[in-house]
């Protein structure tokens, strides 16, 4: 686990892509859940943030 955070701080692609993918997945979950409108309201922002982050980190070194 410490290696994961160490590589996050050194801006490595694999770990940041995982974070971006988790954000995209969280945003899609928030969009499809039927429980609360507050989660639905922020789902687009979370999905968009994950997508933009994924595009940015795809330029990071391995």
pLDDT tens track for 29-52: 999 999 999 999 999 999 999 999
Percentage with pLDDT > 70 across the chain: 100
Max Cα separation, the chain? 40
Cβ(46)–Cβ(23) below 8 Å: yes
25 — phi, psi (to 5°)? -65, -40
> For tokens 């694999």, what's the residue?
14
Helices 37-57 and 13-32: crossing angle in degrees, nearest 10, is: 160
Cβ(30)–Cβ(43) below 8 Å: yes
Percentage with pLDDT > 90 across the chain: 68
pLDDT of residue 3: 81
pLDDT tens track for 3-33: 887 877 787 788 899 999 999 999 999 999 9
């Amino acid at each position: 686990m410490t290696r994961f955070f160490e590589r996050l701080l050194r801006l490595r692609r694999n770990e940041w892509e995982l974070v971006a993918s988790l954000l995209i997945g969280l945003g899609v979950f928030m969009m499809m859940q039927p429980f609360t409108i507050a989660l639905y309201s922020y789902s687009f922002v979370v999905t968009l943030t994950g997508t933009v982050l994924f595009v940015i980190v795809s330029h990071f070194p391995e």
